[in-house]
Amino acid sequence: MHLFKKRPAVGLAATAMAAALALVACSGGASTNATTAAPSKITQAAIDAAMKTKTNLTFWTWVPDIKNEVALFQAKYPAIHVDVVNVGQGAAHYQKLRTAIKAGTGGPDVVQVEFQYLPSFTQGGDLLNMAPYGAAGISSDYASWIWSQVSSGSAVYGIPQDVGPMGNLYRKDLMSAARIKLPTTWDEFSQAARTYRAANPHKYLTNMPGNDAGQFMGLMWQAGARPFGYDGKKTVTINLNTPEVAKVIDFWNPLVRDNIIGVDPDFTDPWYQGLASGLYASWQGAAWGPVFLQGTAAKTSGLWSVAPLPQWDTQKPASGNWGGSTDAVLKSTKNPIAASQLALWINTQHEPALMFATKQFLFPASNTILKDPAFVDQKSAFYGGQQVNKDFAAISATVTPNFVWLPFMDYAYSSFNETLGKAFADRTDLATGLKAWRAALTTYATQQGFTVK
Amino acid sequence: MSQTAVARRRPRAVEMQTRKRGGLKRRQAIASYCLVAPFFLVFLTMLVLPLFYSGYLSLFREQLVGGTVFAGVGNYVRALQDHVFLGGVLRMAQFLVIQVPIMLSLALVFALALDSGRLRMQRIIRLTIFVPYAVPGVIAALMWGYLYGPNFGPFAQGARAIGLPTPPFLGNEWMLGSIMNIVTWSFVGYNMIILHAALRSIPTELYEAARVDGAGEFRVAWSIKIPAIRPALLLTTIFSVIGTFQLFNEPNLLRILAPNVIGVGYTPNLYAYNLAFINQDINYAAAIAFLLGIVIMIVSYAVQLGVLRRERRS
Amino acid sequence: MTPQPMAGQPRAGTLPGTSADADDRQPRTGRRRPVGGQRSNVLTIALLACAAYFLLPLAWLVIASTKSNSDLFSTFGLWFAHFNLVGNLRDVFTFQGGIYISWLRNTIFYAVTSGVGAAALATAAGYAFAKLHFPGGNALFAIVLGAIMVPLTALAIPTYLLFSEVGLTNTPWAIILPSLVSPFGVYLMRVYAADAIPDSLLEAARIDGASEARIFFSVALRLLAPGFVTVLLFALVATWNNYFLPLIMLNSPQYFPLTVGLAQWQSTSAAGSGSQALFSMVITGSLVSIIPLVVAFLFLQRYWQSGLATGGIKQ
């Protein structure tokens, strides 16, 4: 049959172009910033009313089995329905979050944000200040080094969920076979590494990866270095020139150069195999480390132990932190009350918070849980019956305060891999790598409009 | 042509012919537009529109502090001075001149072998060479990543067993070659099938004369078959060139295993991706992607011109 | 649309199964016997060795699928350990509430829909470019060809931003719509249509008074079927293996295709607190995900052969 008339292709193109320009003009591309000022405090009545209103929340998190804690929340507040979505782990999660924020739609209400990334979101004004919603009153339950990372003045941007104080996870059997006493200072550690390597020419006492800035930052943290500063607005401090940083770099430089320690990237298949097969006799890991080993190094069960990190100054035992998350609320949420209550409830109520610690083996940030016998007394067969939690709780108390992150840690970690991390991997001079990292960070900060001090 | 044939058949209807001719043209035009419209609708919305938007984005600059400002060609100037970008392009050029000839030569050899009819188990061989194409890049990287492993991969274990040093597949010097291997493994079969189909379409008369004259299989292949499928070879080359410059999957996935060897800008496509998602620099990423497109166009046309010139000479 | 080297056309102007002039064709069935050729063992062995190289990684995958997590890390890679395939399969299909099955279903759905859609669009456009004359035809075709060179990253984020304007992100449409564009498919169909459909046939139909629509649907389509299938298959494979586009567009795991889902399982082992090691599942899941496509290729091969052979028989 005869076909109806249609505009020629050129006309179609023109229409599409017009549509394109219209869309572009409308979207603008800027992230939405709520213009309403935060109310001083939400009344309990308002909260109660909101929690009885039928609401749908989206919660982006990768914590496994968090549905259990959320189920408890939903049992308490049946009117609130929570959709728990795992959009990816780590970097993938943040990429999606940032893209959604940029697009202005498609983001969640509540979202898991690790401590080091909080400033990157507060810098853009993307997070809701939860202080008026009840978050102001919980600060006493957290160590100052934890609370300082989630708050800015009186504002609270994240509810701490779990942390990662660093300790020394080591293979007792391998060390005693090489006749090495557990090192308590870094000097002893350096000696032990050389002795171990001499006794086992194909193995290493430990591994320092070139792709894990988080771990290395934790060690710098322990040494008292405070390489980063951010005033919350336009000024950043990049202070990688300090004696504390140099102390750490100079410690690892000879070990890396002389092939005394491994430099394999971590959290890869070969690295797991290394741990399982005894290629590395120890791991300066975090409190969440034990769970990992139980999964992948099951054959070595019973052979591991936990001790504090080697110390710089045995008179003042210190540790650093590696990882740990908070739950935050996006400013663009349509349900600020319900969302903030979700974040608060699952992390501060005793039952769900204890579940995180005892069932999912997240190391608790809350002092209450840290003292709870159900948590503290847990014995671990993997660690030869050691009460691992008790030891890490003691370590947690020694983490030094006031560590600050840059508002662009995504870039900082990525450029670490290209500079200082690469120096580790290639076994070249770490000081040169450090300088390159500093330069990259400064260039980026200036390019992005920050003032660098 | 066909119009005049019809006219010859019906001389009475000359006037009707004229109207029919005009009507035919119009009907054809309308039908054409209707047929291409669906494709172009999707083409415009899914390709042209985002492309223009991307171009628009590339003219701006966004800072974490200070918002978005118009930057004109600033991003392009920055890209042309960016040693990471230029390094990536050079690396791809290196990849191109080594991997593409090797892969296509292998594909050609396999295709000729299959076409020669001298092979037993032809079907099985063809299938096994082709199977890697069915494997998604994610899984191919997973498999090869294991095989390349410096501690637990079979090559490493084998080398250690006979006392040789472990081949550093994932090390700085060998990484590009390792990626070339994965790409070749994945796509030789694919190109082989295409070339094989081209070979099968060569009329047999062309060989019969040669064979009667006593030419052996190699001679036939070199002098008759290969020249006959030159257009197919050219096209597989062009598309391999385009694919090379767009290399993304393999380096992106191997980056997990060797994060310090594969940097953010190992390939230009990877650079654009990381700029967009790690540096949050969509505008600069868009400029890089555009420049990459231009590079691809230049190289493709250069290859085409080179081949045409050679053909004209011979 | 994937950043892959895409197929080449056997001969510009000719297609396997057709000769240079569409009106002057010879049947192409019953392809050559080796002329004076005995089967060569040397050649066979050489090629079998090459085939072994192509199978090596897959062999590893099969072997590794039979191992449990801890065995994976402590036994020699290219030989078996304690046989745990059933356990692994069970884990794959029941983990996270059987989400793997959703991924499998999604992948099939996206691939088939995109494949059919892309082939349909490409066939219509290719036929029009080849057989119908209309103003602007050459220019439009040149634009289509140029599109093949566009790097995907130039489009990913703008497409995401545009899609989120209309609320299409995190839906199946976000995967299917962009996959319907196959500039290469249009090129392929144009060449195929130019060969497979003799102008005389079209003229005769026009003289008989058939409208262009009827000509296309009743006459041309039948002749274009093998080319349609070819484009369908290429588009299907491209969508099946696509990783980048769904990675950007989708947030909810229930919409993931297998590529993104498996990659997510893989990276689950690589984050800080709150991670699990899922290698045996990733590996077994990968093996299962390859099987449908390999099996499909086995059938596809037969179809291709017959399609290519019958494509030439006319009138």
Element at A114 (helix H, strand E): strand A110-114
Residue C37 lies in a domain: no
CATH of the domain at C304: 1.10.3720.10
Alpha carbon of C125 to those of A141, A176, B192, C188: distances in Å? 67, 75, 28, 11
Residue A18 lies in a domain: no
| CB proximity A217 to B under 8 Å | no
Point out the least confidently predicted range of A6-10, A324-328, C120-124. A6-10
Residue whose structure tokens are 């070990």: A255
Residue C152 token pair:
């995907």
Q: Are residues A63 and A187 both part of a single domain? A: no
Residue C155 lies in a domain: yes
Handedness of CA A126, A129, A134, A135 (dihedral sign): positive
Average pLDDT over residues A347-353: 94
Task: Measure C152 CA to nearest chain A CA, in Å.
Answer: 17
Say whether C264 and A299 touch across the interface (CB within 8 A): no
Is the pLDDT at A9 greater than 70? The verdict is no
Helices (H) and strands (E) in chain B, counts: 16, 2
Q: Which residues of C touch B27 (CB under 8 A)?
A: 211-212
ipTM: 0.78
Q: Could you say which residues of chain C have pLDDT below 50? A: 1-36, 271-275, 306-315
The predicted pLDDT at position B8 comes to 52
pLDDT digits (tens, 9 = 90+) for A238-252: 999 999 999 999 999
Task: Measure A410 CA to nearest chain B CA, in Å.
Answer: 6
Could you list the residue range(s) of the whole structural domain that residue C275 is in? 84-310
Distance CA A119, CA A127 (A): 10
Residues 6+ apart with CB under 8 A from C205: C214, C215, C219
pLDDT digits (tens, 9 = 90+) for A295-325: 667 778 889 999 999 999 999 999 999 999 9
Residue A9 lies in a domain: no
- The matching CATH number, chosen from 3.90.550.10, 2.60.120.1310, 1.10.3720.10, 3.30.420.40, for B76-313 is 1.10.3720.10
Is the pLDDT at A123 greater than 50? The verdict is yes
| CB proximity B301 to C under 8 Å | no
Range among A153-157, B22-26, C73-77 rated most confident: A153-157
Q: Are residues A274 and A419 both part of a single domain? A: yes
- A92 or B251, greater pLDDT: B251
The answer for A134, left when phi > 0, alpha when psi is -120 to 50, beta otherwise, is: left
The predicted pLDDT at position B230 comes to 85
Average pLDDT over residues B96-101: 94
pLDDT digits (tens, 9 = 90+) for B39-83: 999 999 998 898 888 889 899 998 888 788 898 899 999 999 999
Residue C20 token pair:
């240079």
Domain count, chain C: 1
The predicted pLDDT at position C302 comes to 63
Say whether A448 and B146 touch across the interface (CB within 8 A): no
- Is residue A121 within 8 A of residue A140, CB to CB? The reply is no
Q: Which residues 311-370 of chain A have a CB within 8 Å of chain B?
A: none
Distance CA B186, CA B137 (A): 8
- A28 or C293, greater pLDDT: C293
- A257 or B66, greater pLDDT: A257
Above pLDDT 70, what percent of chain A? 90
- B187 or C253, greater pLDDT: B187
Distance CA A285, CA A218 (A): 9
Say whether B248 and C258 touch across the interface (CB within 8 A): no
The predicted pLDDT at position B15 comes to 59
Q: Which residues of C touch B296 (CB under 8 A)?
A: 149, 151
| CB proximity B22 to C under 8 Å | no
- B213 or A21, greater pLDDT: B213
Residue A277 lies in a domain: yes
The predicted pLDDT at position C23 comes to 34
Residue A421 lies in a domain: yes
Residue C223 lies in a domain: yes
Average pLDDT over residues B157-185: 90
- Is residue C253 within 8 A of residue C100, CB to CB? The reply is no
The predicted pLDDT at position C16 comes to 39
The predicted pLDDT at position A191 comes to 95
Distance CA B300, CA B246 (A): 13
Residues 6+ apart with CB under 8 A from A176: none
Q: Are residues A239 and A291 both part of a single domain? A: yes
The predicted model scores a pTM of 0.82
pLDDT level of residue A385 (50, 70, 90 thresholds): confident
Q: Which residues of C touch A92 (CB under 8 A)?
A: 247, 264, 267
pLDDT level of residue B7 (50, 70, 90 thresholds): very low
pLDDT digits (tens, 9 = 90+) for B279-303: 878 899 889 988 888 888 888 888 8
Between strands A228-230 and A235-238, the pairing is: antiparallel
Point out the least confidently predicted range of A276-290, B17-31, B106-120. B17-31
Distance CA A244, CA A222 (A): 9
Residue B233 token pair:
């070879």
Residue A135 lies in a domain: yes
Domain count, chain A: 2
The predicted pLDDT at position B72 comes to 87
Distance CA A340, CA A327 (A): 9
The predicted pLDDT at position B14 comes to 59
- Is residue B278 within 8 A of residue B224, CB to CB? The reply is no
pLDDT level of residue B245 (50, 70, 90 thresholds): confident
Is the pLDDT at A3 greater than 60? The verdict is no
Domain-wise residue ranges, chain B: 2-57, 76-313
Using DSSP's 3-state secondary structure scheme, residue A244 falls into helix
- Average pLDDT, whole number, for chain B? 84
Above pLDDT 90, what percent of chain B? 26
